Amino acid sequence: MCLIVGLGNPGLGYKNTRHNIGFRVIDQLAGDMGVSLTKRRFHSRNILTRYQNKKMILLCPETFMNLSGKSVKECADYYDLEYGKILVVHDDLDLSFGRLKVVRNGGAGGHKGVQSIIRYMSTMQFPRLRMGIGRPRHGEYVENYVLSSFYTDEKEILENIIFLAVQACKLFISEGVEPAMNQINCQNLAN
């Protein structure tokens, strides 16, 4: 069984922000599978479903970003999941917009949601799908930047980026982290 976690903040005010791209990926993945996140367990929106005959949980924590780990740990403990079977999808300031990177593990890189998961799980040994949002172009404070919508010229390719992220999640579920890394990390949709 796999757990695919999208990070974001609950509420309509955050819906289309850079920080919520993880939620958008999970919602699109669920839509592709013909399900929606209707369960309200583990302080999250979630659903238990199957993809290519493999059980999986799609989960979006409703705890706000800084407490995402609480939700992830509750779900992982309940299903007794191995850390390597948990994929966390999140925005990343240090990757340029249009880049996606699947990684096996690592530090939080300043991302409060990932920091929370590391703190609650007491490990960094879980895969991530890092989605590049780049750095502010116009001198915005980082906190304001991540909680803002994408720039107008970015919105043109945003759906393609979300589509590729969904493909990365499907590869992770069906084939594992290595094939997902090999097929996704070489692509740059901003070019």
Picking from 13, 78, 85, the residue whose alpha carbon sits closest to that of residue 39 is: 78
Tell me how far CA of residue 174 lies from CA of 35, 57, 128, 169, in angstroms: 18, 14, 16, 9
Catalytic residue among 19, 43, 90, 111: 19
CB-based contacts of 179: which residues, under 8 Å, 6+ apart? 171
* 19 part of the active site: yes
In one-letter notation, the amino acid at residue 144 is N
| Other Cβ atoms closer than 10 A to 121 | 17
Closest CA to 112 of 147, 80, 162: 147
Q: Which residue has the tokens 């695919």?
A: 4
Query: DSSP label at 51?
Result: E
Is residue 71 within 8 Å of 42, Cβ to Cβ? yes
Neighbours of 20 (CB within 10 A): 25
Active-site annotation, residues:
19
